[in-house]
């Protein structure tokens, strides 16, 4: 039997995780010196820098939030 493939977190789950920490994606984006909507790009497309910023703000490894995407990135390059 093959292992079930791990799914990336749904964008709403990432936003909810920020709310649980009494912050927002926009606030973290500004704190990183970016426009308030810039980090939202990492929720819909591959952007390793944004993924790292989000993961660090949540205190979680990027591989836990985006396991499938990380595997693809490692396999392709």
pLDDT digits (tens, 9 = 90+) for 20-66: 999 999 999 999 999 999 999 999 998 999 999 999 999 999 999 99
Among 9-13, 33-37, 63-67, 72-76, which stretch is predicted with the lowest mean pLDDT? Answer: 72-76
Positive or negative: CA dihedral 48, 52, 55, 57: negative
The CATH number assigned to the domain holding 58 equals 1.10.260.40
pLDDT of residue 13: 98
pLDDT of residue 29: 98
- Domain count for the chain: 1
Could you give the CA distance from residue 52 to residue 42 in angstroms, rounded to a whole number? 9
pLDDT of residue 74: 59
The residue range of the domain holding 55 is 11-76
Could you give the CA distance from residue 17 to residue 26 in angstroms, rounded to a whole number? 13
Domain annotation covers residue 5:
no
Answer for the pair 17, 58: CB distance below 8 angstroms, yes or no: yes
């Amino acid at each position: 039997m093959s292992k079930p493939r791990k799914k990336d977190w749904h964008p709403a789950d990432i936003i909810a995780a920020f709310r649980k920490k009494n912050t927002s994606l926009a606030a973290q984006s500004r704190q990183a010196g970016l426009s308030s909507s810039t980090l939202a790009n990492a929720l819909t497309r591959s952007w390793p820098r944004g993924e790292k910023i989000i993961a660090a703000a949540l205190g979680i490894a990027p591989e836990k939030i985006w396991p499938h995407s990380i595997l693809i990135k490692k396999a392709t390059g």
